[in-house]
């Protein structure tokens, strides 16, 4: 039995993490802004940390942000909040951290060019996308490339405020581990879905947007040509990864893991699966695009299997069947993860 402080415990992922920890016999203390306790408040942490062996840090401002007006809030909640937490953990002798990170730190996926080997294309141009040319090309020769799954050692390429602050959290955790001898584990969640996912907002992931549309009797609107690839991982698998991470890592360092299902699917497949489960309406592929979106991002999930013993158990078809009718949560003003 481990005593665990879970931050962001009222959120979509945090609430499942609490359930999984308790089911595994751990003693959980839960903190959430929605319940009036802020991770940026050292006095709150001073009250809760003396009872904890591990902090599982899920509290975050999530989503991709709406515009630059969001920047201060992302830095405050995600980067500053983590800094306050780490300083308080050091002060109270709590030597283990599990951090909710994200695959967004990678930016675009990895690709192989026939002439230039492994490449990492930059952002796609508005001109290419407007004429329906969505696939990234080799940054050196402009030829087509083949998607390759991304491993944890790929260089980071954060392209928005959320990604930048998730990467900052990882770096701060690594600093803390080196300085204090603590053990830090960062879990880079891929596209998490499942019961209690927040409803459609500008910050929602595509699974919740499609689900909300179908529930309202509207067709899911599939952007680009629907061929974008993601790894949709079920929230109960993500919660299990957090339980597995309680005993992972190496003192004095940060260990990083992709948390994914290992079964990539396209956004078009996601829309069809959900529409089919709910009996329509049929998805429409609109050709719209968002400039900040990456085309494909697919994980190599092997390290988490080898080192944490984590393997996702909920297959896409099974998970989508449940998600098609599972309850969604009202979005919180505070956007805890
Ligand atoms: C998402 C999250 C990101 C998180 C990551 C991993 C958001 C906004 N993004 O990134 O914060 O770190 O998962 O969990 O929460 N799309 C449509 N129709 C729509 C909306 C989106 O086709 O109505 C497409 C997009 O063009 C994109 C794909 O769906 O190709 C995924 O979009 P989304 O879920 O928003 O963002 P991710 O980049 O996957």
For ligand 1, mutation pick of 123, 206, 207, 288 (most atoms within 8 Å of CB): 206
Return the pLDDT at 200.
74
Interval 100-120: pLDDT, tens: 999 999 998 999 999 999 999
CA of 84 to the centre of ligand 1 (A): 29
CB 39 within 8 A of CB 84: yes
Q: Is 252 helix (H, G, I), strand (E, B) or coil?
A: coil
Return the pLDDT at 331.
74
Q: Which helix (H) or strand (E) holds 182?
A: none
CA of 205 to the centre of ligand 1 (A): 5
Which atom of ligand 1 is nearest the CA belonging to 223?
Answer: 22
**Domain residue spans of the chain:** 3-110+149-325
Residue 177 main-chain phi, psi, to 5 deg: -65, -45
Integer Cα distance of 101 and 259 in angstroms: 9
Q: In 3D, which of 64, 136, 74, 102 has the Cα closest to residue 292?
A: 64
Does CATH place domain 3-110+149-325 in 3.40.50.720?
yes
User: What tokens were used for 14?
Assistant: 């945090």
For atom 3 of ligand 1, the residue with the nearest CA is 63
Residue 285 main-chain phi, psi, to 5 deg: -100, 120
For atom 39 of ligand 1, the residue with the nearest CA is 191
Please report where in the chains the tokens 């909920």 appear, as a residue: 314
pTM: 0.96
CA of 228 to the centre of ligand 1 (A): 10
Length of the chain, please? 337
CB 282 within 8 A of CB 275: yes
CB-count exposure of residue 306 (10 Å: 0-12, 13-18, 19+): exposed
Interval 210-253: pLDDT, tens: 999 999 999 999 999 999 999 999 999 999 999 999 999 999 99
For atom 5 of ligand 1, the residue with the nearest CA is 191
Return the pLDDT at 67.
79
Please report where in the chains the tokens 């940026």 appear, as a residue: 40
CB 45 within 8 A of CB 13: no
What are the helix (H) ranges across 112-205?
Answer: 126-130, 161-180
CB 258 within 8 A of CB 153: no
Which atom of ligand 1 is nearest the CA belonging to 103?
Answer: 6
Return the pLDDT at 202.
66
Q: Which residues line ligand 1 (CB under 6 A)?
A: 62-64, 102-104, 162, 189-192, 203, 205-206, 209, 221-224, 228, 230, 267, 290, 293-294
∠317-320-325 over CA atoms, to 5°? 140
Integer Cα distance of 240 and 139 in angstroms: 38
Which atom of ligand 1 is nearest the CA belonging to 162?
Answer: 11
Which atom of ligand 1 is nearest the CA belonging to 206?
Answer: 34
Q: Which helix (H) or strand (E) holds 284?
A: strand 284-285
- Cα dihedral 68, 70, 75, 78 in deg (nearest 10): -140
Q: In 3D, which of 186, 200, 196, 233 has the Cα closest to residue 57?
A: 186
Return the pLDDT at 337.
44
Residues of the chain predicted below pLDDT 70: 64-66, 202-203, 332-337
Q: In 3D, which of 229, 16, 276 has the Cα closest to residue 110?
A: 229
Residue 184 main-chain phi, psi, to 5 deg: -120, 135
Integer Cα distance of 299 and 232 in angstroms: 11
Return the pLDDT at 159.
87
């Amino acid at each position: 039995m481990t005593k665990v402080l879970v931050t962001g415990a009222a959120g979509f992922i945090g609430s499942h993490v609490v359930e999984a920890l308790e089911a595994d016999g751990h003693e959980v203390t839960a903190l959430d802004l929605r319940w009036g306790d802020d991770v940026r408040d050292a006095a709150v942490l001073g009250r809760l940390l003396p009872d904890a062996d591990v902090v599982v840090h899920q509290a975050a401002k999530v989503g991709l942000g709406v515009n630059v007006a969001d920047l201060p809030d992302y830095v405050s909640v995600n980067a500053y909040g983590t800094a306050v937490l780490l300083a308080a953990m050091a002060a109270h002798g709590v030597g283990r951290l599990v951090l909710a990170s994200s695959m967004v730190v990678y930016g675009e996926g990895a690709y192989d060019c026939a002439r230039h080997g492994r490449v990492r294309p930059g952002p796609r141009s508005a001109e290419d996308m407007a004429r329906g040319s969505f696939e990234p090309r080799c940054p050196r020769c402009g030829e087509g490339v083949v998607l390759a799954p991304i491993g944890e050692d790929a260089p980071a390429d954060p392209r928005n405020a959320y990604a930048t602050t998730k990467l900052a959290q990882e770096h701060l955790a690594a600093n803390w581990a080196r300085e204090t001898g603590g053990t830090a584990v960062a879990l880079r969640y891929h596209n998490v879905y499942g019961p209690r996912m927040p409803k459609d907002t500008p910050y929602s992931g595509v699974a919740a947007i499609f689900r909300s549309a179908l529930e309202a009797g509207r067709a899911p609107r599939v952007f680009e040509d629907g061929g974008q690839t993601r790894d949709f991982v079920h929230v109960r698998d993500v919660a299990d990864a957090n339980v597995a991470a309680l005993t992972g890592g190496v003192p004095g360092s940060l260990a990083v893991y992709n948390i994914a299902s290992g079964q990539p699917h396209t956004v078009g497949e996601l829309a069809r699966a959900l529409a089919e489960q709910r009996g329509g309406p049929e998805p429409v592929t609109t050709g719209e695009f968002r400039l900040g979106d990456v085309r494909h991002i697919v994980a190599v999930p092997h390290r988490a299997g080898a080192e944490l013993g984590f393997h996702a158990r909920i297959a896409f078809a099974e998970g989508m069947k449940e998600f098609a009718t599972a309850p969604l949560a009202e979005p919180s003003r505070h956007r805890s993860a």
